[in-house]
């Protein structure tokens, strides 16, 4: 079975071969067959390649690995492994309530390339900050979280419909379903990815090491990441060592060493 990427590479090779042939034998373009070959090699195939490249990249950008490839997103990836049944992203990720390979996209379907034109423009701004600008220490949503992202899975589910807090006052459920009350505000799930608490969090370690991310497999890397979080979010100029305790079924607790790097004096609003 040929993958889309393999087909794309094949088309690129064919196009390059046609164009090289036309360059070496320009006289062939004088005839009807040569003109048709030139149309295919110079216009039709490059257009097809661009279209396939965009489609392939769009599909690739849905992957969790792609989203977490940006440095600033690493901590959001770590938050998916917090060992706390009340921690919304972790509960969904660890219990396969969302696809693990599309964890970010499932809850952020209107983000950057997949949103409207304004979202796409914001995506270009993210590229600028990633490579040329200064990344803020706190990442916030541009607008209130759309309940639609929750309801396309939870609406109609017994655990959601019969949740006591959702039925605690008349009209509350209707306001949630109609989007007049956001799931991530109004004293409910106020903070989704609580990045600032990661240095003191307990992490779930899958018993099968194949499902452990790289930062969890490498003790030094994990300690370095947690130390950097404390610095970035102003846990103090010389933070005291914090122990990240693993669940009883996993390895020895990991201690993040103290660090003396300067504090990042960026925005301090809570992450959402």
Are 245 and 202 within 8 A, CB to CB?
yes
Taking the CA atoms of residue 259, residue 264, residue 268 and residue 272 in that order, the dihedral angle to the nearest 10 degrees is: -80
N-to-C CA span, the chain: 42
**How far apart (Å, rounded) are the C-alpha atoms in residues 266 and 138?**
8
Confidence class for position 249, pLDDT limits 50, 70, 90: very low
Which phi and psi (to 5°) does residue 239 adopt? -65, 140
Interior angle at CA 168, CA 166 and CA 170, nearest 5 = 95
pLDDT at 92 over 50: yes
pLDDT at 264 over 80: no
DSSP tag of 252: -
Angle between helix 32-39 and helix 4-24 axes, rounded to 10 deg:
140
- Which residues does 168 contact at the CB level (< 8 Å), separation at least 6? none
- Which residues does 55 contact at the CB level (< 8 Å), separation at least 6? 4
**How far apart (Å, rounded) are the C-alpha atoms in residues 268 and 239?**
17
pLDDT, tens digit, for every residue of 199-235? 888 899 898 888 888 888 877 777 777 777 766 655 4
- Which residues does 73 contact at the CB level (< 8 Å), separation at least 6? 67
Confidence class for position 193, pLDDT limits 50, 70, 90: confident
- Which residues does 44 contact at the CB level (< 8 Å), separation at least 6? none
pLDDT, tens digit, for every residue of 39-76? 998 999 999 999 888 888 888 888 888 888 877 788 88
Are 41 and 15 within 8 A, CB to CB?
yes
**How far apart (Å, rounded) are the C-alpha atoms in residues 49 and 245?**
50
Mean pLDDT of 15-31: 89
**How far apart (Å, rounded) are the C-alpha atoms in residues 124 and 119?**
9
How high is the pLDDT of residue 231?
65
How high is the pLDDT of residue 186?
63
How high is the pLDDT of residue 241?
34
Confidence class for position 20, pLDDT limits 50, 70, 90: very high
pLDDT, tens digit, for every residue of 93-113? 999 999 989 898 888 877 666
**How far apart (Å, rounded) are the C-alpha atoms in residues 80 and 11?**
39
Taking all residues of the chain, what is their mean pLDDT, rounded to a whole number?
77
Give pTM, 2 decimals.
0.66
Query: What does each C-alpha distance from 128 to 14, 102, 110, 254 come to in angstroms?
Result: 34, 24, 20, 35
Are 41 and 19 within 8 A, CB to CB?
yes
Note the helical H segments in the chain.
4-24, 32-39, 45-60, 64-67, 74-78, 88-94, 103-107, 117-131, 148-154, 158-161, 172-177, 214-217, 219-232
Total count of residues recorded for the chain: 272
């Amino acid at each position: 079975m040929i993958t889309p990427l393999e087909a794309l590479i094949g088309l690129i090779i064919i196009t390059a071969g046609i164009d090289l042939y036309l360059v070496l034998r320009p006289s062939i373009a004088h005839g009807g067959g040569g003109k048709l070959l030139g149309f295919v090699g110079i216009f039709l195939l490059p257009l097809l390649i661009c279209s396939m490249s965009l489609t392939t990249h769009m599909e690739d950008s849905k992957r969790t690995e792609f989203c977490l490839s940006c440095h600033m997103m690493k901590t959001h990836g770590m938050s998916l492994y917090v060992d706390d049944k009340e921690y919304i992203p972790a509960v969904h990720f660890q219990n396969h309530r969302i696809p693990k390979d599309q964890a970010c996209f499932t809850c952020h379907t209107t983000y950057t390339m997949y949103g409207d034109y304004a979202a796409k423009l914001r995506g270009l701004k993210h590229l600028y900050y990633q490579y040329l600008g200064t990344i803020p220490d706190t990442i916030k949503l541009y607008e209130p979280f759309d309940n639609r992202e929750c309801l396309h899975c939870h609406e109609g589910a017994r655990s959601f419909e019969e949740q006591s807090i959702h039925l605690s006052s008349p009209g509350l459920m209707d306001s949630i379903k109609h989007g007049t009350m956001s799931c991530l505000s109004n004293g409910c799930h106020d903070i989704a990815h609580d990045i600032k608490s990661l240095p003191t969090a307990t992490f779930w370690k899958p018993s099968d090491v194949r499902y452990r991310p790289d930062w969890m497999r490498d003790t030094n890397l994990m300690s370095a990441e947690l130390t950097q979080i404390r610095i970035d979010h102003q846990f103090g100029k010389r933070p005291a060592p914090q122990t990240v305790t693993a669940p009883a079924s996993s390895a020895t607790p990991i201690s993040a060493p103290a660090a003396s790097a300067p504090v990042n004096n960026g925005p301090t609003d809570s992450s959402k």
